[in-house]
Amino acid sequence: MSTENKKDLDTLREEISAINDELLDLFLKRMHVSAEIADYKKANDLPILDRAREREIFAEVEEKAGDLGTYAHRFFSNMMELSRAWQYSQIARETPLIDMIKESRLPADALFPRNGIIGVSGVEGAYAQQAADNMFPRGTLMFMKSFEAVFDALENGECQYGIVPVENSSYGSVKDVYKLLEERDVYITRSIRINVRHELLANPGTKLSDIREIYSHEQAIGQCGAFLKTLPHSVKIIPVANTAVAAKMVGDSDRNDVAAIASHEAGKLYNLKTVRDNIMDSANNYTRFISIRTKPAVYPGANRISVIFTTEHRPGALYDIIAMVSALGLNMVKLESVPLVGSDFEFAFYMDLHASVWEEGVLEMLAYMERTCDRFKYLGNYPEVS
């Protein structure tokens, strides 16, 4: 590059720097005016978002910008997202949700309990038992026949914590558990990822060619789909409540034509032999389990926030939520839509954020979601351990 061009570039950079200073001044002024608008909207019970007004602004901006209309639209859209986030932070400083979350934040020296009465779905040898033993090494385990029974036991005061699975890396979310999380008054306090290694287990002497029925939980069946496709069509695949329940059923049957998909530990517990090992579709197969309780508690190191919500049935409703998350610079690690039974193309959303309720703006964002979403459930802010 010549000296003359270098000078020209330096000059241009100086001009950009001066424009940036002007933009910053204008941005600060705009945000201060936004705060005044927020006060007015709060006093007059008006919504933060005025979609009609925004459309008018965008149309005017694009017309004035000419060939750069698309870029101007994006620039002003980002500025409005930040303005809405700021306005709501001014309005939603104290709400019942914010008060509840603040009261649930524990001091920096609080330790996660290592004992207690723990409700676990399944029977001895279940993967949920491994999760419970990791999270509560001195806990007293109560085995329940179903996920619903774990929630019932919590609400009835029979146990202090419950352990249930929420998702698998190969087969996705456990919809039944998310439905219970939405319906019941419980909160997540911790989560853990367990490496799930499935085996085909049967009574001693059973060969693969002898097997006519295979029992397991539907999630485990889904995680072993490739292996199951190699079996003859005459083999029946039968879902049951839990992988360890399946192993126990086979062990109690004394039959040589049935098998279970379960863990190696469950096989040893119920005196079964491995017919085939590592039958899951992916060796990198993890299930995430959560501990739940009836009162929220935010322990030190909490780095994941989970919510369930539904939005208005209109274009851009979900974008408004995501824009708020983006404006705060938060990392969204999960967003999954689930059709609402009995509705016409409406969905509920599961969202996980890598965030803490101690971070600036996060409480206000949650309050904003609660206010603007048709339905909203804060599930907790909790640490994830491995």
pLDDT of 274 strictly over 80:
yes
0.85 surpassed by pTM? no
- Residue 260's SS3 state is strand
Q: Which residues make Cβ contacts (< 8 Å) with residue 304, sequence separation at least 6?
A: 191, 333, 352, 353, 354, 355, 381, 382, 383, 384
- Model confidence over 44-78: pLDDT tens digits? 888 777 778 888 998 999 999 999 989 988 888 88
Rg (CA), the chain: 27
Which domains, ranges and CATH numbers included, belong to the chain? 3-91 (1.20.59.10), 97-195+286-385 (3.40.190.10), 199-276 (3.40.190.10)
Task: Give the mean model confidence (pLDDT) for residues 317-339.
Answer: 86
- Residue 305's SS3 state is strand
Give the number of other CB atoms < 10 A from CB of residue 183: 12
The C-alpha atoms of residue 306 and residue 317 are separated, in whole angstroms, by 19
- Model confidence over 345-358: pLDDT tens digits? 678 899 999 999 99
> What's the pLDDT band for 164 if we cut at 50, 70, 90?
very high
Residue 357 DSSP one-character state: T
Q: Of 338, 335, 385, 327, nearest to 361 (Cα)?
A: 327
Burial class (CB in 10 A: 0-12, 13-18, 19+), 326: middle
Q: Higher confidence at residue 112 or residue 319?
A: 112
Q: What pLDDT score was predicted for residue 345? A: 64
Task: Give the mean model confidence (pLDDT) for residues 113-119.
Answer: 95
Q: What b-and-e string marks burial along 166-182, b requiring 16 or more CB atoms within 10 Å of the CB?
A: bbbebbebbeebbbbbb
